[in-house]
Chains A and B, each alone.
Chain A
Amino acid sequence: MAELAKVQAYHLDFAETWIEGNYSGINLMKSLSYHLVQMLNNIYLGTLNEVSNA
């Protein structure tokens, strides 16, 4: 759980800060954080499944 919490926090931080998408004074990458975190989490969980299925 501690590892998942760490990755979760990291994914949110990544979605919030690591890519800039300024449009008319609004960072649309922040708008997409909800879906971006979801996507990163799904990719991460997918890699865990790949490991467990190997």
Chain B
Amino acid sequence: MPKKIAITGSEDILLAAKHLTDFEFVAVTGDVAKSLGDMDIPNKFLGSFISENMQAQSMSDAAMLSLGILQQVPEAKKRLHPRVQEKFTQVMPGFLMNNLPQLALLVGALDVANVDGAILHNDVEPLTRTIALWCKARGKPCYHIPHAIYLDHGGRGAPGSDIHDMVTASHLAAGGMFQRNWYVERGFPVDHIGITGVPRFDRITKLPQNRERAGVLLKLNTKKPTVVYFSSWSQQTNLLGCNDEMEESYLAFLDAVKGTEDVEVIVKCHPRGQNIDWHIKKAQEKDVRAIVTAKYLDVIMQVMTVGISYGPSNVILESSMLNHRLASVGGFVADPEIMTMEPTAQSIRQGIMTLMANPIPNYTNFWLKYLGIPDGQAAIRVASYAREVFK
């Protein structure tokens, strides 16, 4: 009998799914169903297991559950900061009714579909965590293939104080030893972790190294070096990330490159940041001539001479595979291969000049730490570990 596995969507999971065509996939969302279909991978949409009765039942169940939860609020809220208590009480009814019907329906659909387990791209957001908790409650394996490597070096607080620290899945695909150890520190059983590499980085090994063509596509003068600044976004799931450092760092970068005619400048915004307009506005205000985009990462990486990320970004890992000179404002402090800059114009300007004057570092140890062996075979290893997880 083929294994019937619920599956959520990420590039890593879809790349691994190509090698698991003997599995019977149940796509949790319509987007995943379409992506699998586009890849000619047969699947059923989880929504197809939902009946009208189930929908009505889940609405009714969610209403009852909300009542039970709201009854706990007066006592529970006493533990919150006094100034938070009133607002918390006001928003809870709407918060629950916005979320619980969908989750109750998800639980019902999983029960009817009776899957043998799940493959998830994270186990912390409401939908994915419910699936992970469902697997746990029903005694089925849940394989987490992380959509990113969390690279914080204590910046998010001690282990256990960030939502991403909550381990619910039973098995994990780790990019390299750093990610493995990160999860072990947070309680993940070490014998349930496969070191696989990162499937979405497999493409880098096949990326054409054609700086001239990339320059033509981006209308850049390739006789000049190209400095790329990888900006970020703030997640409000952690108060330690709710500050102005990302903005200050970007403004410092603009000051560092302002008036420089000797380099081309690209500002690459985070694809989920939804803050490109702000980045364009600030570049215009500072009169910095730059391409500002949230797209075209692969083309940008081909034309890049120096890459600077705000904080410890995954894009530095990708860029290292193309042997670029790399830096981070405040990140990778323990990795000598990556220059750590201060969020000041002087530090960034001096850092760019130093990077360009020095040879490209040897990234072998850096790759082993974060990416295992970046040989373009990570998707195969992730799929291979899936067979072990669901055997």
Residues of chain A touching chain B, judged by Cβ–Cβ distance below 8 Å, are 1, 4-5, 7-9, 11-12, 14-16, 18-21, 23-47
Contact = CB atoms under 8 A, between A and B. Distances in A.
B335 interface: no
Nearest to B85: A43
B103 to A, nearest CB: 5
Contacts of B162: 8, 12
Contacts of B91: 39, 43
B391 interface: no
Given A28-B104, A31-B129, A23 B65 contact: yes
Interface residues of B, number: 46
- Give the interface SS of chain A, mostly helix, strand, loop or mixed: helix
A26 B166 contact: no
Chain B interface helix/strand/loop/mixed: helix
A33 B239 CA distance: 14
Nearest to A51: B83
Interface of B: 61, 65, 68-69, 72-73, 76, 79-81, 83-84, 87-88, 91, 95, 99-100, 103-104, 107-108, 111, 124-126, 129-130, 133-134, 137-138, 157-158, 160-163, 166, 168, 236-240, 242
B240 A4 contact: yes
B83 A47 contact: yes
22 contacts: A4-B240, A7-B239, A8-B157, A8-B161, A8-B238, A8-B239, A9-B157, A12-B160, A14-B76, A21-B65, A21-B68, A24-B107, A27-B133, A30-B133, A32-B103, A33-B129, A37-B163, A38-B237, A44-B83, A44-B239, A45-B239, A47-B84
A32 B309 CA distance: 31
B79 A9 contact: no
Contacts of B111: 24
B129 A34 contact: yes
A31 B236 CA distance: 17
A4 B68 contact: no
Closest 3 CB pairs of A and B: A9-B161, A8-B239, A47-B83
Nearest to A33: B163
Given A5-B161, A12-B162, A28 B130 contact: yes
Contacts of A23: 61, 65, 100, 103-104, 107
B239 A28 contact: no
